[in-house]
C-alpha cells in the first residue's frame, strides 16, 4: 500500500513506486488526495489531473466523487491489484470527499460490500478451477519433458507469488530435472539442493533442449529465450497466469494458469507414469561437473582475505553470518551494481520469498523501502539490506524511518566511492580546471555513511578489515536493531554493471 499525503507532486512522486510494482507484477494500491472537485481547472494548490496521469501505470484507477463511492472503489482496486496477473491500482480521493462526514451507522452499511480478500493459494481448487490448464495441454507438456534429452526447470517470482514451492520440490525430486531460479525465484527450492544449476547457468540455458518456465517472463533477464544464450532448437513450456504473456512469447506449449495449480496438475500426470533422469544421466553429469568446477573456483577466490576490500571478501563474511542464523532465514534485500551482481552468486537463499532485489527494471533506490516493507510484514525476521553506495544514495534518508521505528534492519553500504567505482584518474591526467571536476560517476571519497545512521540515534559502524566487519556483523545481527555498516571497499574494485554493456 502506497499512501501519499499531498496532491499533485505527492502523486507524481508515488508514480515511481507504482510503476515499479506494475512492471514487477506486484499487487500495490496507491491512495492519493487530490484537489477539491469544484476548484479543478482553476489552478488550485498542487492541482494535477491525477487520474489521467496515473492511468498509464496501473491496471485500475478511479476517483471517489462522494464518500459513498469509497468502499466500492476499494473493493475493485483490491480485486484488480491482486487478481490474475497482479499489478498496481490507484484510488483518488478529492479533498472535499475526505472532508465529508457521515454517521457511523451509514459507514457500517457502506462497508458491508467489502469482503475479506482470500488469495488463490488459500482457496479450494473447486473455487479457482479456471486457473488450471486444460488436461490435454498438461499431457503434451509432460510428454515433451519425458522425451527431452536435456530438460531444465526455470522458475521466477510469479511462482514465488503463487506459493508453488511444494509442487516445484515434488517435481524436481521425482524427475531429477535440474533447476534454475531467477534472482527473486531463488529460495523456492534451496540453493543448496543438489539439482540447483545456478552455478552452471550458461551451460544449463545454452544446452537444454526443453525448458519448463514457471512464473518468469522470457524478458532480458532470461535473454528473451533466444540464441545465442539459448539453443536455437530449445522448446519452451511456459506456465503463466497471463494469457497475453504466453501468446506473445509463442512457446511450444503454453499453460495459462496459476503456477501452483498447474505444477500440481503436471505432478499428478507424472505420478501415473513416473520418469526420472537418474544420477548417471549425461545431462546431469554435464551440469554437475560444471557446478563443481565453478563452485570450487569461486570458493578459492572467496577464501582469500583481500584488503583493501574487494566485493568478495566482505560478501563472504556476510554469507557466513547469514548461514549461522539458520531458519527462519532473514529477508535479504540486495541492490547496487557490483554489490548485487556479485551478491547474487555469493549469498545463498534457502527459503521462498526471502530475497528482494532491483527486479524487472533493475531499479536502484528501492532497497530501503523494500527493507521497511519487509520489516512491517515480517516483524519476527531480521532484515539485511546489502546496498551499493550508489543505490543507497537514492533513498538513503529512509534510515530516519528505520531508526524512528526501531526496525531490525541491518544495512551494509558497499562504499567504493562511486557508481561501479571511485574516481580512478591519476592527478597527472587532470589537465585543465574542468578536468579537476570529479568524474561523473564518482562520489565524495571516504564518505562516512555510518554517521547518517548515528545522526538518528541508531548504530553505525565503519569497517575496512575482515576483523572489523566480523565484529560489526556479529554485534548487529544479534542486536536486531537498526544499524548501518559502512563497508570501505577499494575504489578500484568493481566494474561496469551486469556485464550488460550496451544496455547501460
Ligand atoms: P522473474 O523476474 O522472476 O523472471 P517475472 O517478473 O519476469 O519473473 O515474471 C513473473 C511472471 O509470473 C509474470 O509474467 C506474471 O504474469 C506471472 N505470474 C504472476 N502470478 C502468477 C501466478 N499466480 N501463477 C503463474 N504465473 C504468475
Grid cell in block for residue 304? 582469500
Tell me the C-alpha distance between 498 and 220, whole Å.
12
Tell me the pLDDT tens digit for each residue of 44-57.
999 999 999 999 99
Closest protein CA for atom 20 of ligand 1 = 158
Q: Are 148 and 161 in contact (CB under 8 A)?
A: no
pLDDT of 504: 56
Closest protein CA for atom 27 of ligand 1 = 158
Among residues 298, 341, 162, 148, which one has the least CA distance to residue 242? 162
Residue 242 alpha carbon, nearest atom of ligand 1: 16
- From ligand 1's centre to the CA of 501, what distance in Å? 26
Rg for the chain (alpha carbons), in Å? 25
Tell me the C-alpha distance between 105 and 128, whole Å.
35
Helix-helix angle 282-303:312-325, to 10 degrees: 110
Q: Which of 23, 122, 130, 157 should be mutated for ligand 1, with most atoms under 8 A from CB?
A: 157
262 close to ligand 1 (CB < 6 Angstrom)? no
C-beta atoms surrounding 376 within 10 Å: 12
* Residue whose cell numbers read 539459448: 230
Residue 222 alpha carbon, nearest atom of ligand 1: 4
* Residue whose cell numbers read 533442449: 209
Q: Are 18 and 2 in contact (CB under 8 A)?
A: yes
pLDDT of 433: 72
Closest protein CA for atom 14 of ligand 1 = 217
Q: Are 34 and 11 in contact (CB under 8 A)?
A: yes
Tell me the C-alpha distance between 385 and 334, whole Å.
6
Among residues 378, 399, 501, which one has the least CA distance to residue 460? 399
pTM reported for the whole predicted model: 0.95
Tell me the C-alpha distance between 44 and 47, whole Å.
5
Tell me the C-alpha distance between 464 and 455, whole Å.
21
Q: Exposure pattern of 430-457 as b/e (b: 16+ CB <10 Å)? A: eeeeeeeeeeebbbeeebebbebbeebe
pLDDT of 100: 96
Three-point CA angle 17, 451, 322, nearest 5°: 65
25 close to ligand 1 (CB < 6 Angstrom)? yes
Grid cell in block for residue 79? 480485486
Series of mean pLDDT values for 10-residue runs along the chain (504 residues) = 78 96 97 95 95 97 97 96 96 96 95 90 93 98 98 98 98 98 97 97 98 98 97 98 97 98 98 94 98 96 94 97 91 95 93 97 96 96 97 97 98 93 78 78 92 98 98 98 97 73 59
pLDDT of 420: 81
357 close to ligand 1 (CB < 6 Angstrom)? no
* 0.90 surpassed by complex ipTM: yes
219 close to ligand 1 (CB < 6 Angstrom)? yes
85 close to ligand 1 (CB < 6 Angstrom)? yes
pLDDT of 203: 98
- Measured in whole angstroms, the distance separating CA 75 from the mean position of its chain's CA atoms is 26
Per-residue 3-state assignment (H helix, E strand, C coil) for 256-295 = ECCHHHHHHHHHHHHHHCCCCCCCCCHHHHHHHHHHHHHH
Tell me the C-alpha distance between 375 and 408, whole Å.
7
- Residue 324 neighbours by CB under 8 Å, 6+ apart: none
Amino acid at each position: 500500500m502506497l499512501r501519499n499525503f499531498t496532491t499533485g507532486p505527492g502523486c507524481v512522486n508515488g508514480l515511481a513506486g507504482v510503476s515499479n510494482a506494475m512492471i514487477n507484477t506486484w499487487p500495490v494500491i496507491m491512495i492519493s488526495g487530490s484537489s477539491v472537485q469544484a476548484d479543478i481547472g482553476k489552478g488550485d494548490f498542487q492541482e494535477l489531473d491525477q487520474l489521467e496521469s496515473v492511468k498509464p501505470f496501473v491496471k485500475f484507477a478511479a476517483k471517489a466523487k462522494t464518500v459513498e463511492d469509497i468502499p466500492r472503489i476499494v473493493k475493485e482496486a483490491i480485486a484488480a491489484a491482486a487478481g490474475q496477473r497482479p499489478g498496481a491500482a490507484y484510488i483518488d480521493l478529492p479533498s472535499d470527499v475526505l472532508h465529508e462526514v457521515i454517521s457511523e451507522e451509514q459507514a457500517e452499511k457502506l462497508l458491508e460490500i467489502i469482503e475479506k480478500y482470500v488469495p488463490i493459494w488459500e482457496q479450494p481448487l473447486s473455487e479457482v478451477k479456471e486457473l488450471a490448464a486444460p488436461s490435454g495441454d498438461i499431457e503434451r507438456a509432460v510428454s515433451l519433458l519425458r522425451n527431452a534429452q536435456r530438460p531444465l526447470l526455470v522458475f521466477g517470482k510469479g511462482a514465488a507469488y503463487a506459493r508453488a514451492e511444494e509442487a516445484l520440490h515434488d517435481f524436481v525430486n521425482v524427475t531429477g530435472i535440474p533447476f534454475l531460479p531467477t534472482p527473486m525465484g531463488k529460495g523456492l527450492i534451496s540453493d543448496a539442493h543438489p539439482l540447483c544449476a545456478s552455478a552452471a547457468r550458461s551451460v544449463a540455458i545454452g544446452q537444454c533442449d526443453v525448458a519448463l518456465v514457471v512464473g518468469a517472463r522470457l524478458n532480458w533477464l532470461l535473454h528473451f529465450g533466444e540464441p545465442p544464450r539459448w539453443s536455437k532448437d530449445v522448446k519452451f513450456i511456459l506456465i503463466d497466469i497471463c494469457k497475453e504473456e504466453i501468446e506473445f512469447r509463442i512457446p511450444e506449449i503454453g499453460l495459462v494458469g496459476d503456477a501452483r495449480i498447474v505444477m500440481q496438475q503436471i505432478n499428478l500426470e507424472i505420478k501415473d507414469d513416473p520418469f526420472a533422469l537418474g544420477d548417471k544421466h549425461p545431462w546431469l553429469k554435464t551440469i554437475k561437473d560444471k557446478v563443481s568446477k565453478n563452485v570450487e573456483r569461486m570458493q578459492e577466490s572467496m577464501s582469500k582475505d583481500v584488503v583493501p576490500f574487494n566485493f568478495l571478501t566482505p560478501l563472504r563474511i556476510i554469507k557466513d553470518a547469514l548461514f549461522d542464523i539458520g531458519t527462519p532465514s532473514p529477508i535479504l534485500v540486495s541492490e547496487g551494481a557490483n554489490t548485487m551482481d556479485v551478491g547474487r552468486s555469493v549469498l545463498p537463499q534457502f527459503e521462498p520469498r526471502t530475497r528482494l532485489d532491483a527486479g524487472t527494471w533493475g531499479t536502484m533506490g528501492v532497497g530501503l523501502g523494500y527493507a521497511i516493507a519487509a520489516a512491517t510484514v515480517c516483524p519476527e525476521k531480521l532484515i539485511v539490506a546489502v546496498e551499493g553506495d550508489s543505490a543507497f544514495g537514492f533513498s538513503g534518508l529512509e534510515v530516519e524511518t528505520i531508526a524512528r521505528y526501531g526496525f531490525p534492519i541491518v544495512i551494509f553500504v558497499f562504499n567504493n566511492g562511486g557508481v561501479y567505482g571511485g574516481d580512478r584518474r591519476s592527478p597527472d591526467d587532470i589537465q585543465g580546471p574542468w578536468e579537476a571536476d570529479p568524474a561523473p560517476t564518482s562520489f565524495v571519497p571516504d564518505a562516512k555513511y555510518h554517521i547518517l545512521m548515528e545522526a538518528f540515534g541508531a548504530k553505525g559502524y565503519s569497517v575496512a578489515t575482515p576483523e572489523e566487519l566480523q565484529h560489526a556483523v556479529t554485534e548487529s545481527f544479534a542486536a536486531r536493531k537498526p544499524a548501518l555498516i559502512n563497508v570501505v571497499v577499494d575504489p578500484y574494485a568493481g566494474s561496469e554493471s551486469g556485464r550488460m554493456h550496451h544496455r547501460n
